Amino acid sequence: MQKGWSIFFGVILLATFLIWFAAPFFGWWLPENISTFGGGVDNLFYAILGLTTFFFVLTEVVLVYAMWKFVDRGGEKSVYTHGNHTLELVWTAIPAALLLGIAIAQIGVWEKIKYQSRMPAPDLTVSVLARQWEWRMRYPLDNQQFHYEDEDQKAASNLKSRLWAENPNFDDVHAINELHVWKNANVKLWIRTLDVLHSFTLPNLRLKQDTLPGKTIPMWFNAEKSNCEFVVRERSTGKPVTLAFNSKTKLVEVVTPSGREPLEARVADLKGELETSGNKADNWEIACQELCGSRHYAMRGRLYVHADEKSYYAWLQYSRGAQKATSLEAAVSMR
Amino acid sequence: MHRQATTLSRSLVVAAGLVVIFLAGCDDSNRYPAALRYPERADLVLKTENTTDYRVALPPPGKLDEAIREAADKKLFQVVVDPKDIDRKDRAELTKALEELFGTPAAPSIAPIEPTRAPRGKREEAEENLKLYESLLSENLGEDISDDDITYLVTDSDTLNKLTVVDPRSTTLAKGSELYRRHCMHCHGVAGDGRGPTGAWVDPHPRDYRQGVFKFLSTTKAAIASGKPRKEDLIRTLEKGIDGTSMPAFGLLPRHELEQLASYVIHLSLRGEVEYDTLMVLARDKNQIGDDLKKFVYQRAIQYTGQWARASKMEPNRPAAYPYSSATPEEMHESISRGYKLFIGKAECLKCHMDYGRQSAYRYDAWGTLVRARNLTETNYRGGRRPIDIYWRISGGIPPSGMPAHALADQEMWDLVNFVQALPYPGMLPDDVKHKVYPSPGEKH
């Protein structure tokens, strides 16, 4: 009868193992990677997963086998041992070597993602302010001010953008729970919190950073895939309007037969909308991964990667126009 | 051998039990239990019109009702009614009438249910209730309010679009109640009293809907004597949250869910206001009710439904055209300077927003909690940061917290809005104004 226990545990462990194998087929796995450095994170993840799986299976097999084999054999006396030096050395040295291996293998990936000195010059800067229970994003109207070509200007630019993150500008565009960037842009984020610890997580980018009260923490990423485009239509007719984009001044203008007008000034009679594929897999999430209070579960947002710079700036300048609404017509321009 | 078998079978029983609990625990429904009733109001019923400034420390967190009671004992409020003092019989009658009208958290409504949908033994009673309600309708609702107006209040676009829905009103409210339970209840409470488990611990306290008054309206109080918001105003508050308070934004919820939530909040507010008002009258002027409490409750419910419908029908307050759309920086500076002069002079903003709000004193709001005029040198605006939001706050006021409505000339309004918008950013202010608002150390202002 006592052998039943080894069967019981054996079956449970086997089931756990099989569920783990089945999980990806039910969608319980990492979401699609869209960042430039995500591949490195995934490789590390799989390497560590492979190692731990191997040792997990090994130890569990030995454990269950030992339960089966050495179950009470009636009247036999136990043998006491004071340990085996060689064995202990072996099982200490192997994990130590493996850990050291992992520690060395991860340096390159970590450095690329987290080292401030390795962060590229930003095409876009966003301030993210966490609070119970939402993410408040702030976008500068002018991203050029933080851009630099020369590495010498890096420190000065960094300080400037950090000061901006800590002190809002009059022109800033505010959005709640929505992170907008464009494809292939180097994005710099400054992460802060108003209250408690939160953890700003972008699963699709394999990126995660805790927010610490009192600290302004930089993050960066570059998304290689887009999931949306900003389309502007005539409010009355629903016809899409033609937009012109000046890549130098970053100004988006509405092209009409009579001439051009800044998009920002036309929100009252235009309707701008984010168009997405509608596929669930293209809903890229922002999540809080630090239990931060009773509504922690609801502290979610969306990552919108625009197809190109033009789409992003159209969204930005349209939002700016909506934020400057002075008429009833403009007040309904954006949800 | 026997003992080992018992251990094993015991473990199996425990394991089976755990499996059962595990499977039963995951229920998709967010619905309130059907047997749950709205709680009777137990906290003090207040009327405050206090305009006195206080230099006090805020009460410690978690002491919402204790602090209100303490202030009431010090006679700081105009009217205080303790629901405990109401005759038990009247109270029971009120509770019953409220339940007939507003149902339960799981099955909310704003009018007596159709007799066909009442439980078997209660059809006759339901028929009577409905008859009474309908007989009072024309007299109390107001002729300007149609059935469609009320439908708009308590339905959502998704439900209306579905052909299979028999009763869009109660379907919307039931869905709203599920969403409310999930997203709002823990702060705003089952009855919408702002006294959910976390409610007392956040400052400012979550809105108590039971007085039927709200802060952020796009209409003016002069236009809507009841001070009720438009349904669209509630939806916007849900969508954007309230910066500077614990109210988060729910903008990622689909539009129809926001509508369902707003409808349910209207339902809670209606129920709460009828209760609030009836308790007030019972304590202070019982003769007004006569001998038919139920009829009084029904009348009030219809009147308030009319007020909500009237507010939602209303066009928002339309501002005069913004004169500075294509202003030069110099013209903008002039406008800001004029706004500054209005702020410190004619509009009397400094009276409450002392030192531009940095040193505002506390006052009691309509709910008996301490609030202070906004610190306008900070960059958050609770009712929204768009110029039109600030225009609405100034022109309509925020009646429940004592911010008065301002009647200024069109251009003056926009000058003031421009100044308030530029105020937190010293770089945006003309030099002379900047030195007044942000004096350097040692400089007098």
Domains of chain B: 82-313 (no CATH), 329-437 (1.10.760.10)
Q: Which fold has domain A115-227+270-331?
A: Immunoglobulin-like (2.60.40)
DSSP letter (8 states) at residue A146 = G
Residues on chain A touching B315 (C-beta within 8 angstroms): 328
Q: How far apart are alpha carbons B130 and B294 in whole angstroms?
A: 12
List CB contacts of A106: < 8 A, sequence separation 6 or more. A44
Low-confidence ranges of chain A (pLDDT < 70): 1, 335
Report the DSSP beta bridge partners of residue B47.
B79
Question: Cβ distance A216 to A191 under 8 Å?
Answer: yes
Cβ neighbours around B144 below 10 Å, total: 10
List CB contacts of B146: < 8 A, sequence separation 6 or more. none
Of A1, A265, A300, the CB nearest to B8: A1
Residues on chain A touching B186 (C-beta within 8 angstroms): 294-295
Strands A124-131, A186-193: parallel, antiparallel or unpaired by DSSP?
A: parallel
* Alpha carbon of A39: minimum distance to chain B alpha carbons (Å): 29
Residues on chain A touching B239 (C-beta within 8 angstroms): 335
Where do the domains of chain A lie? Answer: 3-68+86-112, 115-227+270-331
Contact A324 B391 (CB under 8 A): no
Question: Cβ distance B272 to B192 under 8 Å?
Answer: yes
Contact A300 B252 (CB under 8 A): yes
Q: Does B421 touch chain A (CB under 8 A)?
A: yes
A335 three-state secondary structure? coil
**Mean pLDDT score, B307-327:** 91
Q: Does B386 touch chain A (CB under 8 A)?
A: yes
Q: Does B34 touch chain A (CB under 8 A)?
A: no
Q: Does B430 touch chain A (CB under 8 A)?
A: no
Q: How far apart are alpha carbons A97 and A99 in whole angstroms?
A: 5
Tokens of A48: 């560590």
Q: How far apart are alpha carbons B20 and A151 in whole angstroms?
A: 63
- The residue of chain A with its CA nearest to that of B218 is A328
Q: Which residues of A touch B (CB under 8 A)?
A: 1-2, 4-5, 131-134, 136, 168-170, 174, 176-178, 265, 294-295, 298-302, 322-328, 330-331, 335
Complex ipTM tops 0.90: no
Closest CA to B154 of B133, B170, B130, B138: B170
What pLDDT score was predicted for residue B54?
85
Residues on chain A touching B257 (C-beta within 8 angstroms): none
**Cα A106 from chain centre:** 19
Q: Is pLDDT at B24 greater than 80 in this prediction? A: no
Q: How far apart are alpha carbons B216 and B231 in whole angstroms?
A: 11
Q: How far apart are alpha carbons B210 and B195 in whole angstroms?
A: 11
Of A177, A325, A330, the CB nearest to B249: A177
Of the residues B243, B261, B411, B418, the best mutation for testing chain A's interface (the one with the most A CB atoms within 10 Å of its CB) is B243
Based on its alpha-carbon atoms, the radius of gyration of chain A, rounded to whole angstroms, reads 27
Based on its alpha-carbon atoms, the radius of gyration of chain B, rounded to whole angstroms, reads 26
Q: Where are the alpha helices (DSSP H) in chain A?
A: 3-22, 38-69, 85-105, 107-114, 154-166, 309-323, 328-331
**What pLDDT digit, counting tens, does each position of B65-106 carry?**
999 999 999 998 989 999 999 999 999 999 999 999 999 999
What whole-number percentage of chain B has pLDDT above 70? 94
Closest CA to A305 of A218, A202, A171, A217: A202
Contact A132 B379 (CB under 8 A): no
What pLDDT score was predicted for residue B22?
66
* Alpha carbon of A131: minimum distance to chain B alpha carbons (Å): 9
Q: How far apart are alpha carbons B232 and B221 in whole angstroms?
A: 16
Contact B322 A328 (CB under 8 A): no
Q: How far apart are alpha carbons A211 and A199 in whole angstroms?
A: 6
What pLDDT score was predicted for residue A141?
92
Q: Does B391 touch chain A (CB under 8 A)?
A: yes
**What pLDDT digit, counting tens, does each position of B189-199 carry?**
999 999 999 88
Task: Return mean pLDDT, chain B.
Answer: 90
What pLDDT score was predicted for residue B202?
87
Report the DSSP beta bridge partners of residue A139.
A173
Positive or negative, the Cα torsion across B291, B294, B297, B303? negative
Count of positions (residues) in chain A: 335
Question: Cβ distance B250 to B183 under 8 Å?
Answer: yes
Residues on chain B touching A300 (C-beta within 8 angstroms): 252
Question: Cβ distance B185 to B264 under 8 Å?
Answer: no
Question: Cβ distance A134 to A287 under 8 Å?
Answer: no
Q: How far apart are alpha carbons B343 and B354 in whole angstroms?
A: 11
B103 three-state secondary structure? strand
Of the residues A72, A172, A176, the best mutation for testing chain B's interface (the one with the most B CB atoms within 10 Å of its CB) is A176
- The residue of chain B with its CA nearest to that of A323 is B386
Q: How confident is the model at residue B329 (pLDDT cuts 50, 70, 90)?
A: very high
Residues on chain A touching B421 (C-beta within 8 angstroms): 170
What pLDDT score was predicted for residue A198?
96
Q: Which letter, b or e, does each residue of B151-173 get, where b requires 16 or more Cβ atoms within 10 Å of its Cβ? A: ebbbbbebbbeeeeeeebbbbbb
List CB contacts of B250: < 8 A, sequence separation 6 or more. B183, B238, B239, B241, B258, B261
Of the residues B3, B216, B386, B417, the best mutation for testing chain A's interface (the one with the most A CB atoms within 10 Å of its CB) is B386
Of A133, A323, A327, the CB nearest to B322: A327
* Alpha carbon of A109: minimum distance to chain B alpha carbons (Å): 33
Per-residue HEC secondary structure of B108-166 comes to ECCCCCCHHHCCHHHHHHHHHHHHHHHHHHHHHHCCCCCHHHHHHHCCCHHHHHCCCCC
Reported as type and span, the H/E element at residue A131 is strand A124-131
Q: Does B10 touch chain A (CB under 8 A)?
A: no
**What pLDDT digit, counting tens, does each position of B208-240 carry?**
999 999 999 998 766 777 889 999 999 999 999
DSSP letter (8 states) at residue A137 = E
Q: How far apart are alpha carbons B189 and B197 in whole angstroms?
A: 7
Q: Does B244 touch chain A (CB under 8 A)?
A: no
- The residue of chain B with its CA nearest to that of A286 is B252
Residues on chain A touching B241 (C-beta within 8 angstroms): 134, 176
Strands A186-193, A217-222: parallel, antiparallel or unpaired by DSSP?
A: antiparallel
Q: How confident is the model at residue B444 (pLDDT cuts 50, 70, 90)?
A: low
Tokens of B314: 């209303």
**Cα B271 from chain centre:** 13
Q: Does B183 touch chain A (CB under 8 A)?
A: yes
Q: Does B414 touch chain A (CB under 8 A)?
A: yes
CA dihedral B29, B30, B34, B35 (to 10 degrees): 130
Contact A335 B239 (CB under 8 A): yes
What pLDDT score was predicted for residue B19?
72
**What pLDDT digit, counting tens, does each position of B391-402 carry?**
999 999 998 988
Closest CA to B259 of B333, B344, B335, B169: B169
Closest CA to B380 of B241, B240, B244: B244
**What pLDDT digit, counting tens, does each position of B158-183 carry?**
888 887 888 889 899 999 999 999 99
Residues on chain B touching A134 (C-beta within 8 angstroms): 241, 248-249
- The residue of chain B with its CA nearest to that of A130 is B248
Q: How far apart are alpha carbons A256 and B394 in whole angstroms?
A: 37
Q: How far apart are alpha carbons A148 and B349 in whole angstroms?
A: 44
Q: Does B54 touch chain A (CB under 8 A)?
A: no
Tokens of A23: 């999980």
Cβ neighbours around B117 below 10 Å, total: 13
- The residue of chain B with its CA nearest to that of A298 is B183
* Alpha carbon of B123: minimum distance to chain A alpha carbons (Å): 42
A290 three-state secondary structure? coil
Closest CA to B420 of B433, B401, B431: B433
Amino acid identity, position B420: V
Q: How far apart are alpha carbons B408 and B416 in whole angstroms?
A: 10
Of B183, B246, B414, the CB nearest to A298: B183
Of A5, A176, A330, the CB nearest to B251: A176
Closest CA to A208 of A195, A221, A224: A221
Closest CA to B171 of B227, B112, B106: B106
A240 three-state secondary structure? strand
Contact B325 A328 (CB under 8 A): no
